[in-house]
């Protein structure tokens, strides 16, 4: 029997919050050569629903027409969410359907709708980083994780902004049908091999500001491209013609990250790529990403990606044939 997935939308929702997860489930069906998932779109009223981008999407059902129970209820987000929190038909419909669903999920600011429906009280949850403070202030009973790509707390799943809905849906496919299918779906969609939910919403470049200074921008690129180089503060300072103390102050002021922390994050990202794309043993991965030893690799990898190097490889390794 196909798993019944209902995707909830509303006026002004973010189109990608719907399209990303829907394409993940649809691609899983294609690869399974079976109807693993039955997808339906619902809104307070059936018919054409305008997105934030101005494109209309047809909701096949009104929320009141959706029969229970469901396998998965997934609520989209969008810039219009704050104005929808007082929509009793929307919030009440979500609460009703959630009561019979095996799992409930949100993408981006859709977490606010789940919280307004009382579904996140006492739970860990995430949302787009721009919305995290609003979620925490409006709903103090929610344990807001403002950094993770997605968070699963029991049967409740929440994800960060926009493209993180793809990661969440891939994780659901992995839970339902195994990691191999999830990897194949990711390859089919030409998206990043699906990431563990504990990973940060921010990649190494996004975590740091772009320096105003051209020499520091070039240095940033050099660090990311050469993890095995001498990236100590004195060595980096020499490359910029500054004293070590002055370099540290300027780099931190312009990027928001101390140079040593930026280097460690960059090396952790290099290690992640090697684990996913090679069969190198951990001692070689540690050497090639500039971390030296498997022990240091383990400690740094856990700190930045919240998973051990071995577990990450087992879950996400994909060597090109």
pLDDT, tens digit, for every residue of 214-253?
899 899 889 988 999 999 999 999 999 999 999 999 999 9
Report pLDDT digits (tens) over 269-321: 899 888 878 899 999 999 999 999 999 999 999 888 788 999 888 876 754 43
Question: How many residues comprise the chain?
Answer: 321
Q: Which fold has domain 3-189?
A: Rossmann fold (3.40.50)
Phi, psi for 270 (deg, rounded to 5): -65, -40
pLDDT of residue 206: 47
Phi, psi for 61 (deg, rounded to 5): -135, 150
Q: How far apart are CA 121 and CA 278, in angstroms?
A: 42
Residue 189: both structure tokens together: 């969609």
- Per the model's pLDDT, the better-predicted residue between 210 and 174 turns out to be 174
Q: Could you state, in order of their start, the residue ranges of all structural domains in the chain?
A: 3-189, 203-321
* This prediction's pTM: 0.70
pLDDT of residue 47: 98
How many CB atoms lie under 10 A from the CB of residue 27? Answer: 20
CATH architecture entry for 203-321: Orthogonal Bundle (1.10)
Strand partners, 11: none
Q: How far apart are CA 239 and CA 257, in angstroms?
A: 18
Nearest to 78 by CA among 98, 50, 105: 50
Q: How far apart are CA 230 and CA 11, in angstroms?
A: 53
* Residues of the chain by 3-state class (helix, strand, coil), percent to 5: 50, 15, 35
Mean pLDDT value across residues 40-59: 97
């Amino acid at each position: 029997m196909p798993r019944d997935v209902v995707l909830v939308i509303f006026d002004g929702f973010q189109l990608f919050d719907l399209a990303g997860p829907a394409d993940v489930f649809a691609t899983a069906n294609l690869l399974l050569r079976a109807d693993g998932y039955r997808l339906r779109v619902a809104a307070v009223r059936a018919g054409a629903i305008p997105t934030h981008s101005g494109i209309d999407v047809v909701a096949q059902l009104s929320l009141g027409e959706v029969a229970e129970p469901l396998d998965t209820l997934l609520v989209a987000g969008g810039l219009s969410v704050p104005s929808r929190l007082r929509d009793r038909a929307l919030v009440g419909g979500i609460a009703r359907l959630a009561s019979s669903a095996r799992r409930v999920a949100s993408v981006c600011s859709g977490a606010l709708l789940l919280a307004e429906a009382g579904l996140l009280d006492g739970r860990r949850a995430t949302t787009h980083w721009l919305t995290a403070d609003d979620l925490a202030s409006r709903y103090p009973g929610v344990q807001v994780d403002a950094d993770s790509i997605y968070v699963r707390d029991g049967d409740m799943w929440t994800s960060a902004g926009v493209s993180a809905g793809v990661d969440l849906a891939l994780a659901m496919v992995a839970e339902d049908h195994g990691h191999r299918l999830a990897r194949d779906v990711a390859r089919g969609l030409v998206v990043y091999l699906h990431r563990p939910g504990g990973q940060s919403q921010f990649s190494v470049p996004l975590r740091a500001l772009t320096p105003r200074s051209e020499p520091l921008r070039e240095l940033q690129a050099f660090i990311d491209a050469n993890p095995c180089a001498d990236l100590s503060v004195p060595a980096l300072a020499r490359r910029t013609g500054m004293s070590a103390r002055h370099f540290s102050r300027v780099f931190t002021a312009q990027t928001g990250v101390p140079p040593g922390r930026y280097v460690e994050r960059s090396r952790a990202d290099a290690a992640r790529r090697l684990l996913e794309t090679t069969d190198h043993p951990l001692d070689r991965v540690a050497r090639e990403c500039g971390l030296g030893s498997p022990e240091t690799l383990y400690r740094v990898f856990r700190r930045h990606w919240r998973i051990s190097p071995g577990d990450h490889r087992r879950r996400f390794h994909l060597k090109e044939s």
